[in-house]
Protein backbone atom coordinates (compact mmCIF):
# COMPACT_ATOMS: atom_id res chain seq x y z
CA UNK A 1 0.00 0.00 0.00
CA UNK A 2 1.18 3.52 -0.71
CA UNK A 3 1.47 6.11 1.96
CA UNK A 4 -1.49 8.51 1.90
CA UNK A 5 -0.54 12.10 2.64
CA UNK A 6 -0.07 11.43 6.33
CA UNK A 7 -3.67 10.27 6.90
CA UNK A 8 -3.67 7.79 9.54
CA UNK A 9 -10.38 3.18 9.82
CA UNK A 10 -27.25 -14.34 16.62
CA UNK A 11 -27.77 -15.71 14.70
CA UNK A 12 -31.47 -14.69 15.19
CA UNK A 13 -31.70 -17.47 17.72
CA UNK A 14 -29.00 -17.27 20.32
CA UNK A 15 -28.29 -20.97 20.41
CA UNK A 16 -27.70 -21.35 16.68
CA UNK A 17 -24.15 -19.95 16.49
CA UNK A 18 -21.69 -21.46 14.05
CA UNK A 19 -19.00 -23.69 15.55
CA UNK A 20 -15.62 -24.29 13.92
CA UNK A 21 -12.66 -26.43 14.94
CA UNK A 22 -9.13 -25.62 14.01
CA UNK A 23 -8.30 -29.15 12.90
CA UNK A 24 -10.26 -31.93 11.23
CA UNK A 25 -12.80 -33.69 13.43
CA UNK A 26 -11.38 -36.58 15.45
CA UNK A 27 -12.69 -40.11 15.19
CA UNK A 28 -15.97 -40.58 17.09
CA UNK A 29 -14.27 -42.48 19.90
CA UNK A 30 -11.89 -39.55 20.49
CA UNK A 31 -14.35 -36.69 19.99
CA UNK A 32 -15.34 -36.09 23.62
CA UNK A 33 -11.73 -36.21 24.79
CA UNK A 34 -10.67 -33.77 22.05
CA UNK A 35 -13.51 -31.35 22.89
CA UNK A 36 -12.47 -31.34 26.52
CA UNK A 37 -8.91 -30.40 25.56
CA UNK A 38 -9.86 -27.64 23.11
CA UNK A 39 -10.12 -23.99 24.09
CA UNK A 40 -13.63 -22.63 23.67
CA UNK A 41 -13.67 -19.14 22.17
CA UNK A 42 -16.91 -17.16 21.93
CA UNK A 43 -16.91 -14.46 19.23
CA UNK A 44 -19.92 -12.18 18.90
CA UNK A 45 -20.66 -9.12 16.74
CA UNK A 46 -23.41 -6.57 17.26
CA UNK A 47 -24.62 -6.73 13.65
CA UNK A 48 -23.53 -8.11 10.29
CA UNK A 49 -21.76 -5.96 7.72
CA UNK A 50 -18.55 -6.23 5.71
CA UNK A 51 -16.19 -4.62 8.22
CA UNK A 52 -17.40 -6.63 11.23
CA UNK A 53 -17.40 -9.83 9.17
CA UNK A 54 -13.77 -9.11 8.25
CA UNK A 55 -12.89 -8.56 11.91
CA UNK A 56 -14.53 -11.87 12.83
CA UNK A 57 -12.64 -13.76 10.13
CA UNK A 58 -9.34 -12.14 11.02
CA UNK A 59 -9.67 -13.18 14.67
CA UNK A 60 -10.36 -16.79 13.68
CA UNK A 61 -7.51 -16.97 11.18
CA UNK A 62 -4.96 -15.62 13.67
CA UNK A 63 -6.02 -18.09 16.35
CA UNK A 64 -6.02 -21.00 13.91
CA UNK A 65 -2.55 -20.01 12.67
CA UNK A 66 -1.24 -20.37 16.23
CA UNK A 67 -1.68 -24.14 16.20
CA UNK A 68 -3.87 -24.13 19.31
CA UNK A 69 -6.75 -26.61 19.51
CA UNK A 70 -9.87 -24.42 19.54
CA UNK A 71 -13.63 -24.45 19.13
CA UNK A 72 -15.27 -21.21 17.96
CA UNK A 73 -18.81 -20.19 18.85
CA UNK A 74 -19.80 -17.39 16.44
CA UNK A 75 -22.80 -15.22 17.25
CA UNK A 76 -24.57 -12.17 15.77
CA UNK A 77 -26.89 -9.96 17.83
CA UNK A 78 -28.56 -8.53 14.72
CA UNK A 79 -28.37 -5.02 16.12
CA UNK A 80 -30.38 -5.85 19.25
CA UNK A 81 -28.99 -4.97 22.68
CA UNK A 82 -31.14 -7.54 24.49
CA UNK A 83 -29.89 -10.25 22.17
CA UNK A 84 -26.33 -9.11 22.85
CA UNK A 85 -26.91 -9.68 26.56
CA UNK A 86 -28.38 -13.12 25.85
CA UNK A 87 -25.30 -14.05 23.85
CA UNK A 88 -23.00 -12.92 26.66
CA UNK A 89 -24.91 -15.07 29.13
CA UNK A 90 -24.80 -17.99 26.71
CA UNK A 91 -21.01 -17.69 26.54
CA UNK A 92 -20.88 -17.70 30.35
CA UNK A 93 -23.13 -20.77 30.58
CA UNK A 94 -20.94 -22.53 28.03
CA UNK A 95 -17.82 -21.73 30.07
CA UNK A 96 -15.87 -20.23 27.19
CA UNK A 97 -12.17 -19.73 27.89
CA UNK A 98 -12.21 -16.29 26.30
CA UNK A 99 -14.94 -14.04 24.89
CA UNK A 100 -14.43 -11.63 21.97
CA UNK A 101 -16.85 -8.72 21.52
CA UNK A 102 -16.95 -7.06 18.09
CA UNK A 103 -18.18 -3.43 18.19
CA UNK A 104 -18.98 -1.35 21.27
CA UNK A 105 -22.45 -2.59 22.33
CA UNK A 106 -21.44 -6.23 21.99
CA UNK A 107 -18.17 -5.69 23.87
CA UNK A 108 -20.02 -3.87 26.65
CA UNK A 109 -22.58 -6.67 26.98
CA UNK A 110 -19.82 -9.28 27.31
CA UNK A 111 -17.72 -7.21 29.72
CA UNK A 112 -20.78 -6.70 31.93
CA UNK A 113 -21.20 -10.46 32.29
CA UNK A 114 -17.60 -11.65 32.56
CA UNK A 115 -15.55 -10.41 35.51
CA UNK A 116 -12.84 -13.09 35.60
CA UNK A 117 -12.82 -14.81 32.21
CA UNK A 118 -10.71 -12.84 29.69
CA UNK A 119 -12.61 -10.47 27.38
CA UNK A 120 -11.09 -9.04 24.20
CA UNK A 121 -12.90 -6.27 22.32
CA UNK A 122 -12.33 -5.14 18.75
CA UNK A 123 -13.89 -2.53 16.49
CA UNK A 124 -14.46 -0.19 19.45
CA UNK A 125 -13.83 3.48 18.69
CA UNK A 126 -13.56 4.82 22.24
CA UNK A 127 -12.91 1.99 24.73
CA UNK A 128 -12.36 4.43 27.62
CA UNK A 129 -15.58 6.32 26.92
CA UNK A 130 -17.37 2.97 26.61
CA UNK A 131 -16.02 2.09 30.10
CA UNK A 132 -14.33 -1.06 28.84
CA UNK A 133 -10.94 0.11 30.12
CA UNK A 134 -9.89 3.06 32.24
CA UNK A 135 -6.71 3.73 30.25
CA UNK A 136 -5.37 3.03 26.77
CA UNK A 137 -1.92 2.25 28.15
CA UNK A 138 -3.02 -1.12 29.56
CA UNK A 139 -5.96 -3.46 29.88
CA UNK A 140 -8.39 -3.27 32.76
CA UNK A 141 -8.73 -6.40 34.91
CA UNK A 142 -9.83 -9.13 32.51
CA UNK A 143 -10.49 -6.79 29.55
CA UNK A 144 -8.32 -5.49 26.70
CA UNK A 145 -8.61 -5.15 22.94
CA UNK A 146 -8.25 -3.11 19.77
CA UNK A 147 -9.71 0.29 18.88
CA UNK A 148 -10.89 1.22 15.39
CA UNK A 149 -10.52 4.97 15.94
CA UNK A 150 -9.93 6.81 12.65
CA UNK A 151 -8.48 10.28 11.86
CA UNK A 152 -11.89 11.89 11.36
CA UNK A 153 -10.69 15.51 11.25
CA UNK A 154 -8.17 14.66 8.51
CA UNK A 155 -10.91 12.95 6.52
CA UNK A 156 -13.13 16.02 6.63
CA UNK A 157 -10.25 18.26 5.55
CA UNK A 158 -9.75 16.03 2.52
CA UNK A 159 -13.48 15.95 1.75
CA UNK A 160 -13.69 19.74 1.77
CA UNK A 161 -10.58 20.06 -0.41
CA UNK A 162 -11.70 17.58 -3.08
CA UNK A 163 -15.49 18.03 -3.12
CA UNK A 164 -15.68 21.70 -2.11
CA UNK A 165 -18.39 21.04 0.46
CA UNK A 166 -19.68 23.76 2.79
CA UNK A 167 -22.61 21.86 4.37
CA UNK A 168 -21.63 18.46 5.72
CA UNK A 169 -24.18 15.77 6.57
CA UNK A 170 -23.64 13.23 9.33
CA UNK A 171 -25.92 10.37 10.45
CA UNK A 172 -25.18 8.58 13.71
CA UNK A 173 -26.68 6.04 16.11
CA UNK A 174 -27.72 7.89 19.25
CA UNK A 175 -27.57 4.79 21.46
CA UNK A 176 -23.96 3.80 20.61
CA UNK A 177 -21.16 5.28 22.70
CA UNK A 178 -18.70 5.14 19.79
CA UNK A 179 -21.12 7.13 17.61
CA UNK A 180 -21.54 9.85 20.22
CA UNK A 181 -17.76 10.11 20.58
CA UNK A 182 -17.39 10.38 16.80
CA UNK A 183 -20.09 13.06 16.66
CA UNK A 184 -18.07 15.26 19.00
CA UNK A 185 -14.99 14.91 16.79
CA UNK A 186 -17.00 15.71 13.65
CA UNK A 187 -18.50 18.79 15.33
CA UNK A 188 -15.08 20.08 16.33
CA UNK A 189 -13.61 19.48 12.88
CA UNK A 190 -16.48 21.30 11.16
CA UNK A 191 -16.11 24.22 13.53
CA UNK A 192 -12.38 24.49 12.79
CA UNK A 193 -12.98 24.30 9.03
CA UNK A 194 -15.90 26.70 8.92
CA UNK A 195 -18.32 24.01 7.71
CA UNK A 196 -22.01 23.86 8.54
CA UNK A 197 -22.78 20.49 10.11
CA UNK A 198 -26.25 19.00 9.63
CA UNK A 199 -26.93 15.86 11.66
CA UNK A 200 -29.58 13.19 11.84
CA UNK A 201 -29.74 10.51 14.51
CA UNK A 202 -31.09 6.97 14.21
CA UNK A 203 -31.82 4.22 16.70
CA UNK A 204 -31.32 1.24 14.39
CA UNK A 205 -30.48 0.37 10.80
CA UNK A 206 -34.14 0.29 9.75
CA UNK A 207 -34.27 4.06 10.24
CA UNK A 208 -31.32 4.83 7.95
CA UNK A 209 -33.26 5.26 4.71
CA UNK A 210 -35.65 7.76 6.28
CA UNK A 211 -32.74 9.64 7.87
CA UNK A 212 -30.91 9.81 4.55
CA UNK A 213 -34.02 11.10 2.81
CA UNK A 214 -34.44 13.74 5.49
CA UNK A 215 -30.89 15.05 5.21
CA UNK A 216 -29.87 14.67 1.57
CA UNK A 217 -31.51 17.87 0.32
CA UNK A 218 -29.87 20.02 3.00
CA UNK A 219 -26.22 19.02 2.55
CA UNK A 220 -23.45 19.09 -0.07
CA UNK A 221 -22.18 15.66 0.93
CA UNK A 222 -22.18 13.19 3.80
CA UNK A 223 -19.40 11.79 5.98
CA UNK A 224 -19.62 8.32 7.52
CA UNK A 225 -17.62 7.29 10.55
CA UNK A 226 -17.47 3.66 11.68
CA UNK A 227 -21.11 3.55 12.82
CA UNK A 228 -22.35 -0.04 12.78
CA UNK A 229 -26.04 0.70 12.28
CA UNK A 230 -25.23 2.99 9.34
CA UNK A 231 -22.93 0.51 7.64
CA UNK A 232 -25.29 -2.43 8.13
CA UNK A 233 -27.81 -0.62 5.87
CA UNK A 234 -25.34 1.32 3.71
CA UNK A 235 -26.88 0.41 0.31
CA UNK A 236 -30.02 2.39 1.22
CA UNK A 237 -27.99 5.52 1.96
CA UNK A 238 -25.91 5.11 -1.19
CA UNK A 239 -29.04 4.79 -3.30
CA UNK A 240 -30.48 8.06 -1.97
CA UNK A 241 -27.29 10.09 -2.25
CA UNK A 242 -26.50 8.66 -5.69
CA UNK A 243 -29.92 9.73 -6.95
CA UNK A 244 -29.28 13.24 -5.59
CA UNK A 245 -25.74 13.28 -7.05
CA UNK A 246 -24.27 14.09 -3.64
CA UNK A 247 -20.85 12.66 -2.63
CA UNK A 248 -20.21 10.22 0.20
CA UNK A 249 -16.97 9.98 2.21
CA UNK A 250 -16.61 6.70 4.10
CA UNK A 251 -14.26 6.10 7.01
CA UNK A 252 -14.40 2.38 6.18
CA UNK A 253 -12.94 1.10 2.91
CA UNK A 254 -14.30 -2.43 3.29
CA UNK A 255 -17.91 -1.36 2.87
CA UNK A 256 -17.06 0.98 -0.04
CA UNK A 257 -15.57 -1.67 -2.30
CA UNK A 258 -18.92 -2.41 -3.93
CA UNK A 259 -19.17 1.17 -5.20
CA UNK A 260 -21.14 4.28 -4.28
CA UNK A 261 -18.77 6.08 -1.92
CA UNK A 262 -16.74 8.69 -3.77
CA UNK A 263 -13.91 8.61 -1.22
CA UNK A 264 -13.13 5.98 1.38
CA UNK A 265 -10.12 5.65 3.62
CA UNK A 266 -9.41 3.67 6.74
CA UNK A 267 -7.53 0.63 7.95
CA UNK A 268 -7.94 -2.94 6.80
CA UNK A 269 -10.54 -4.56 9.08
CA UNK A 270 -9.32 -8.07 8.33
CA UNK A 271 -5.85 -7.00 9.46
CA UNK A 272 -7.40 -5.48 12.59
CA UNK A 273 -9.16 -8.77 13.29
CA UNK A 274 -5.92 -10.69 12.82
CA UNK A 275 -4.13 -8.43 15.31
CA UNK A 276 -7.02 -8.97 17.73
CA UNK A 277 -6.68 -12.72 17.26
CA UNK A 278 -2.99 -12.49 18.09
CA UNK A 279 -3.98 -10.81 21.37
CA UNK A 280 -6.37 -13.70 22.03
CA UNK A 281 -3.55 -16.19 21.46
CA UNK A 282 -1.25 -14.30 23.85
CA UNK A 283 -3.91 -14.50 26.55
CA UNK A 284 -4.60 -18.20 25.95
CA UNK A 285 -0.87 -18.79 26.35
CA UNK A 286 -0.88 -17.12 29.76
CA UNK A 287 -0.56 -13.36 29.29
CA UNK A 288 -2.63 -11.21 31.64
CA UNK A 289 -5.17 -8.99 29.79
CA UNK A 290 -4.46 -6.18 32.25
CA UNK A 291 -0.85 -6.08 31.01
CA UNK A 292 -1.81 -5.73 27.33
CA UNK A 293 -2.26 -2.12 26.10
CA UNK A 294 -5.18 -1.23 23.84
CA UNK A 295 -4.00 -1.71 20.27
CA UNK A 296 -4.42 0.72 17.36
CA UNK A 297 -3.57 0.44 13.67
CA UNK A 298 -1.88 3.75 12.91
CA UNK A 299 0.87 2.98 10.41
CA UNK A 300 0.29 4.41 6.91
CA UNK A 301 0.94 0.94 5.49
CA UNK A 302 -2.05 -0.33 7.47
CA UNK A 303 -4.46 2.14 5.83
CA UNK A 304 -6.30 1.95 2.51
CA UNK A 305 -7.48 4.73 0.18
CA UNK A 306 -10.26 4.26 -2.36
CA UNK A 307 -11.68 6.59 -4.98
CA UNK A 308 -14.89 5.77 -6.83
CA UNK A 309 -14.54 7.56 -10.17
CA UNK A 310 -18.08 6.60 -11.20
CA UNK A 311 -19.48 8.35 -8.12
CA UNK A 312 -17.17 11.32 -8.65
CA UNK A 313 -18.33 11.75 -12.24
CA UNK A 314 -21.98 11.54 -11.17
CA UNK A 315 -21.37 14.25 -8.56
CA UNK A 316 -19.44 16.47 -10.97
CA UNK A 317 -16.20 16.14 -8.99
CA UNK A 318 -12.74 15.66 -10.50
CA UNK A 319 -10.29 13.83 -8.23
CA UNK A 320 -6.85 15.50 -8.49
CA UNK A 321 -4.10 13.24 -9.80
CA UNK A 322 -2.00 13.92 -6.71
CA UNK A 323 -4.55 11.94 -4.71
CA UNK A 324 -5.39 9.32 -7.34
CA UNK A 325 -1.72 8.39 -7.56
CA UNK A 326 -1.71 7.49 -3.88
CA UNK A 327 -4.88 5.39 -3.86
CA UNK A 328 -4.58 1.63 -3.65
CA UNK A 329 -8.19 1.04 -4.74
CA UNK A 330 -9.92 2.58 -7.76
CA UNK A 331 -13.57 1.89 -8.58
CA UNK A 332 -14.39 2.73 -12.19
CA UNK A 333 -16.91 1.52 -14.78
CA UNK A 334 -18.48 -0.68 -12.14
CA UNK A 335 -15.25 -2.53 -11.34
CA UNK A 336 -12.83 -2.38 -8.43
CA UNK A 337 -9.10 -2.39 -9.17
CA UNK A 338 -6.49 -2.83 -6.48
CA UNK A 339 -3.10 -1.28 -7.15
CA UNK A 340 0.12 -2.99 -6.11
Backbone angles phi, psi at 146, to 5 degrees: -125, 135
Q: What pLDDT, on the 0 to 100 scale, is given for residue 213?
A: 98
Domain ranges of the chain: 14-149+268-291, 152-267+300-338
In angstroms, the CA 136 to CA 143 distance is 11
pLDDT at 302 over 80: no
Beta bridge partners of 140: 143
Closest CA to 200 of 177, 230, 236, 164: 230
Contact 324, 302 (CB under 8 A): no
For the stretch 83-111, pLDDT in tens is 999 999 999 999 999 999 999 999 999 99
For the stretch 23-66, pLDDT in tens is 333 444 444 445 567 999 999 999 998 889 999 999 999 999 99
CB half-sphere exposure, 261, CA atoms < 13 A? 28
Q: Which CATH superfamily is domain 152-267+300-338 in?
A: Response regulator (3.40.50.2300)
More confident residue, 340 or 193: 193
Q: What pLDDT, on the 0 to 100 scale, is given for residue 169?
A: 98
pLDDT at 124 over 50: yes
Q: What pLDDT, on the 0 to 100 scale, is given for residue 37?
A: 75
In angstroms, the CA 87 to CA 40 distance is 14
Q: What pLDDT, on the 0 to 100 scale, is given for residue 14?
A: 36
Per-residue confidence band for 176, with pLDDT thresholds at 50, 70 and 90: confident
- Range scoring the smallest mean pLDDT among 3-7, 73-77, 172-176, 216-220: 3-7
Q: Which CATH superfamily is domain 14-149+268-291 in?
A: Response regulator (3.40.50.2300)
For the stretch 225-281, pLDDT in tens is 988 899 999 999 999 999 999 999 999 898 899 999 999 998 889 999 999 999 999
Do the domains at 14-149+268-291 and 152-267+300-338 have one common CATH topology?
Answer: yes
Q: Give the whole-number percent of the chain exceeding pLDDT 90.
A: 79
What's CA 165's distance to the chain center, in Å? 26
Amino acid sequence: MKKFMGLVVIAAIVGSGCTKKMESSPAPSDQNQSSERAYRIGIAKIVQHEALDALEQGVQDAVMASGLDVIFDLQNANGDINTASQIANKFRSDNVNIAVGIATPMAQAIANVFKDTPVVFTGVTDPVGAKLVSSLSNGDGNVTGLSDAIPTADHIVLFKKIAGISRLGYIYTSSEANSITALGIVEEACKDLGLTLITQSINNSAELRQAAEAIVGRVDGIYLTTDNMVFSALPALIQIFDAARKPIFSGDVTAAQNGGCMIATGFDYYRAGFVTGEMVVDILKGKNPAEIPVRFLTEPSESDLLFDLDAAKSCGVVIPEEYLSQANYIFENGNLTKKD
